[in-house]
């Protein structure tokens, strides 16, 4: 149990579907992150939220739409995805403004776009 829970663990969706990934943490953290993990590529930081405000968007296509309603929950809304978007999507959280503190990761959602 890492303290960060992601649902669903696995998701298969068609290119015209709309789905959402959910992340929840009860560690008292104020920063939350979405990462994409594709085969044979480094982990890609997608979005960063700090105290519910988006502070970073690393040129992520608009078919990925994040939402952070409060410091404990983070969503990633998906629509009209492409097969190359198939990957493991990892959510993480950490304290804000404390240098050297680590991030805690969820188990990820394995997404397959067909």
Residues making contact with other proteins (CB under 8 A): 2, 4, 6, 31, 33, 40-43, 45, 48, 50, 55-56, 90, 92, 94-108
Find, among 36, 71, 33, the residue nearest to 55 by Cα.
33
Q: Least separation, in Å, of the C-beta of 107 and other proteins?
A: 4
The nearer residue to other proteins, 5 or 80, going by C-beta atoms, is 5
The nearer residue to other proteins, 4 or 113, going by C-beta atoms, is 4
Q: Rounded to 5 degrees, what are φ and ψ at 84?
A: -70, -5
The nearer residue to other proteins, 71 or 85, going by C-beta atoms, is 71
Q: Least separation, in Å, of the C-beta of 16 and other proteins?
A: 29
Q: Least separation, in Å, of the C-beta of 51 and other proteins?
A: 9
Q: Tokens standing for 49?
A: 């939220």
Q: Is 63 left (phi over 0), alpha (psi -120 to 50) or beta?
A: alpha
Q: Least separation, in Å, of the C-beta of 80 and other proteins?
A: 27
The nearer residue to other proteins, 69 or 97, going by C-beta atoms, is 97
Q: Before 8, cis peptide (omega within 30)?
A: yes
CB atoms within 10 A of CB 43: 13
């Amino acid at each position: 149990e890492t303290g960060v829970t992601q649902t669903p663990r696995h998701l298969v969706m068609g290119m015209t579907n709309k789905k959402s990934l959910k992340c929840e943490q009860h560690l008292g953290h104020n920063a939350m992150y979405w990462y994409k993990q594709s085969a044979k590529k480094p982990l890609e930081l997608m979005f960063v939220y700090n105290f519910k405000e988006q502070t970073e968007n690393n040129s992520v296509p608009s078919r990925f739409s994040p939402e952070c309603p409060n410091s404990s929950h983070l969503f990633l809304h998906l629509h009209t995805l492409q097969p190359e978007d198939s990957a493991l999507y990892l959510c993480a959280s950490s304290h804000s403004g404390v240098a050297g503190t680590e991030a805690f990761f969820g188990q990820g959602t394995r997404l397959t776009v067909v």
